[in-house]
Amino acid sequence: MAFFNIDSIKDRTFDAIVIGSGISGGWSAKELTGRGLRTLVLERGRDVKHIKDYPTTFKNPWEFPHLGQIPKELRDANPIASRCYAFNEDAAHFFIKDNEHPYVQEKPFDWIRGYQVGGKSLMWARGTQRWSQYDFDGPARDGFAVEWPINYADIAPWYSYVEKFAGISGNKDGLAQLPDGEFLPPHEQSCVEKHFTQQMAKHYNNKRPVIIGRCAHLTQPQPIHIQQGRGQCQNRALCQRGCPYGGYFSSNSSTLPWAQKTGKMTLRPDSVVHSIIFDEKKNKATGVRVIDAHTKEMTEYYAKIIFVNASTLNTNLVLLNSTSNRFPNGLGNDNGLLGKYIAFHNFRTTISAEYEGFLDTTTEGNRPNSSYIPRFRNVFKQETDFLRGYAAGFGSSRMMDTDKSGFGESLKANLTQKKYGNWFVNSHMMGETIPKETNLVSLDSDLKDAWGIPQLKVSVAYDDNDEKMIADFHQQMTEMLTIAGFKNIKTNDRPDKAPGLDIHEMGGVRMGKDPKTSLLNKWNQLHSCQNVFVTDGACMTSNSTQNPSLTFMAITARAANHAVDELKKKNL
Ligand SMILES: Cc1cc2nc3c(=O)[nH]c(=O)nc-3n(C[C@H](O)[C@H](O)[C@H](O)COP(=O)(O)OP(=O)(O)OC[C@H]3O[C@@H](n4cnc5c(N)ncnc54)[C@H](O)[C@@H]3O)c2cc1C
Ligand code: SF4
């Protein structure tokens, strides 16, 4: 395909191209347009307009034909999405259909995706914690993965920057392993969560803090949020439907409309990026090849800089598929490491328990958040026989007993008068996995998708370190719950649960100091093609225990502003 029409080429030429409109792409768009760059945002999925395209947001429970459940046929047709806890009748439309987007599972991997404007920013659970210096130190300390080229001090101002704009609620807890941020007022812990917090502080001498989670909710909107058209979170906890108040941060409610207001953004939904065009004479990328999702027609778009924000595995796919004489194995892949060192969070296990006290108390209404146990293993020094550590979510609610006895009127009366049971707590582990060369993605040499793009082949698995971590989580949490007086403690490990359901996959295009062992420099530029920036999870050198998206946002804002500075200095 060739385009000789000069006007047409001009129409397809921008200062910057952003691939993907999810959490990281939204930030790229906001920063680049905010600094005056004419920016094309390419999104493979359909358009989703804030509020207008949230079809279930105001529905009452009885308006769902299957009472919120996914019917069997839909479940059977989407076995991968069905394994995600959030794939329910009110939010299923934000998940891709499994059969439309096949990939090769060399080892079982549940790849959860949301292809639409806003990406997974509409679907996420909004947990947002900063990394600490101990997280950046991890690889250097134990020798797995390469050293990070940035430190906490490099990223801290950018955490503050994105937190203020996105709106993050939390408590200033003063923890070395979980730095405080620019917080809106925190949610409140339940009485049982408070009890657990107090017991842990007392017994472990403040070495095992339990805190209220930090999350991207407007508990007290500031002028910057009102300017975005967002309002106070109403604690409906129906966020997975898309929030009509803009109560939580998403690209759709926040960064994309902000970028749109500059008049500098062109957003193209239904635009599947096939590959990045590399010009050997100029020794840089000049644009991207895009396939129309419906007509399958290919068009080229051009720009001076390109931000790849297609989400971790798709970013790997786009780069692997961007071959040229100079880069026969994928763009920037001089060392053969593109696609390798994929890491994820070990989400395989949970622990639950009951508390027999506080029976005169329950929660009123909802809270779109839970408590959080920051990492306490191997933080300051290596102290176990496994590497790295784990954090955990910690939520509580009163159990509900339903008396199903009786007949006719008495049965009806019994069913409608639910009785509160004991307090029930549940904690899920978020373990750091070790980035290894053998955990990788590559392109299948035969199989293609509906757009003629090679299918991604995923070969990622748990290892012995993960098994030891699970055993430690069970042991430590059982001890902690017992100390705090909980009963009926039950561990729930599912060894058959594949990686992926954490939805925190990272790596494959890692940052590093040395081009021989990494793909990106400290500003997220490909070492060997410096006008291409990768700032989503693919750039991560290691993966810590915190939910990652806040770090993707901070890294993206930092890199985008650097890109504009370099462009203005004519270095790109
Ligand atoms: C149920 C759920 C709960 C989660 N909870 C949390 C949480 O509590 N905290 C947290 O930090 N994270 C959480 N996550 C993960 C979080 O959503 C992701 O980390 C985040 O969205 C990643 O941002 P991204 O920009 O890299 O990718 P995405 O938000 O997925 O955006 C990528 C975009 O790129 C588009 N795209 C892909 N390929 C192409 C292509 N070839 N051409 C054009 N466009 C393309 C996609 O359609 C998509 O819109 C959760 C995710 C889910 C699904
Ligand atoms: S809990 Fe807050 S963010 Fe979630 S849907 Fe309700 S108002 Fe919106």
Mean pLDDT for 430-454 is: 97
User: Distance between CA 175 and CA 132 in Å, rounded?
Assistant: 9
CA nearest to 115, candidates 97, 101, 96, 100: 96
User: Distance between CA 261 and CA 267 in Å, rounded?
Assistant: 12
Phi and psi based region of residue 131 (left: phi greater than 0; alpha: psi -120 to 50; beta: remaining): beta
Tokens for 113, please give them: 């995706």
Q: Is the pLDDT of residue 298 over 70?
A: yes
Q: Is the pLDDT of residue 115 over 50?
A: yes
Q: How far is ligand 1, taken at its centre, from the CA of residue 119, in Å?
A: 5
Q: Which residue has the tokens 């004489």?
A: 325
Q: Any idea what DSSP says for residue 245?
A: T
Residue 4: which pLDDT band, with cuts at 50, 70 and 90? low
Residue 365: the pLDDT is: 74
Q: What three-state secondary structure class fits 176? A: coil
Mean pLDDT for 431-437 is: 96
Tokens for 259, please give them: 């970028």
pLDDT digits (tens, 9 = 90+) for 127-165: 999 999 999 998 888 888 899 999 999 999 999 999 999
Where does 325-442 have alpha helices with state H?
A: 409-416
Is 86 a pocket residue for ligand 1 (Cβ < 6 Å)? yes
Tell me the backbone φ, ψ of residue 38, rounded to 5 degrees.
-70, 115
User: Distance between CA 424 and CA 486 in Å, rounded?
Assistant: 9
Query: Which residue's C-alpha comes closest to atom 21 of ligand 1?
Result: 120
Q: How many Å separate Cα 156 from the centre of its chain?
A: 19
Q: Is the pLDDT of residue 362 over 90?
A: no
The atom of ligand 2 lying closest to the CA of 234 is 7
Query: Where is average pLDDT lowest: 72-86, 206-220, 409-423?
Result: 409-423
DSSP 16-31: EEEE--SHHHHHHHHH
pLDDT digits (tens, 9 = 90+) for 165-183: 999 999 999 999 999 999 9
Is 502 a pocket residue for ligand 1 (Cβ < 6 Å)? no
User: Distance between CA 119 and CA 250 in Å, rounded?
Assistant: 9
- For the full predicted model, state whether its pTM sits above 0.85: yes
- Count CB atoms within 10 A of the CB of residue 385: 10
Residue 413: the pLDDT is: 87
The answer to whether the CB of 322 falls within 8 A of the CB of 547 is: no
**Residue 104, strand partner residues:** 457
Around ligand 2, the residues with Cβ closer than 6 Å are: 217, 233-239, 243, 245, 247-248, 368
**Amino acid (one-letter) located at 317:** L
Mean pLDDT for 266-270 is: 98
| Nearest ligand atom owner, CA of 306 | 1
Q: Is the pLDDT of residue 254 over 80?
A: yes
SS3 content of the chain, % helix, strand, coil (to 5): 30, 25, 50
Among 59, 122, 187, 234, which residue has the most ligand 2 atoms within 8 Å of its CB, making it the best to mutate? 234
Q: How far is ligand 2, taken at its centre, from the CA of residue 525, in Å?
A: 36
Mean pLDDT score across all residues of the chain: 96
Residue 415: which pLDDT band, with cuts at 50, 70 and 90? confident
- The sign of the torsion formed by the CA atoms of 364, 365, 367, 372 equals positive
In order of 328, 375, 529, 535, the CA distances from 521 in angstroms are: 21, 28, 11, 11
pLDDT digits (tens, 9 = 90+) for 444-487: 999 999 999 999 999 999 999 999 999 999 999 999 999 999 99
The atom of ligand 2 lying closest to the CA of 247 is 3
Query: Which residue's C-alpha comes closest to atom 3 of ligand 2?
Result: 247
Domain parsing of the chain, residue ranges: 59-99, 186-213+345-432+462-498
Tell me the backbone φ, ψ of residue 46, rounded to 5 degrees.
-75, 165
CA nearest to 535, candidates 288, 334, 252, 310: 310
The answer to whether the CB of 529 falls within 8 A of the CB of 521 is: no
Residue 364: which pLDDT band, with cuts at 50, 70 and 90? confident
Is 126 a pocket residue for ligand 1 (Cβ < 6 Å)? yes
Q: How far is ligand 1, taken at its centre, from the CA of residue 273, in Å?
A: 16
Residue 404: which pLDDT band, with cuts at 50, 70 and 90? confident
More confident site: 400 or 14: 14
CA nearest to 208, candidates 430, 386, 391, 383: 391
User: Distance between CA 40 and CA 29 in Å, rounded?
Assistant: 8
Q: Is the pLDDT of residue 3 over 80?
A: no
User: Distance between CA 42 and CA 270 in Å, rounded?
Assistant: 8
Q: Is the pLDDT of residue 2 over 60?
A: no
Residue 15: the pLDDT is: 98
**Amino acid (one-letter) located at 41:** V
The answer to whether the CB of 134 falls within 8 A of the CB of 380 is: yes
The atom of ligand 1 lying closest to the CA of 547 is 11
Mean pLDDT for 22-30 is: 98
User: Distance between CA 147 and CA 206 in Å, rounded?
Assistant: 30
Residue 366: the pLDDT is: 86
Q: How many Å separate Cα 34 from the centre of its chain?
A: 24
Is 25 a pocket residue for ligand 1 (Cβ < 6 Å)? yes
Residue 1: the pLDDT is: 43
The atom of ligand 2 lying closest to the CA of 248 is 3
Rg (CA), the chain: 24
The answer to whether the CB of 363 falls within 8 A of the CB of 379 is: no
Q: How far is ligand 2, taken at its centre, from the CA of residue 159, in Å?
A: 23
Angle between helix axes 464-483 and 191-203 (nearest 10 degrees) is 100
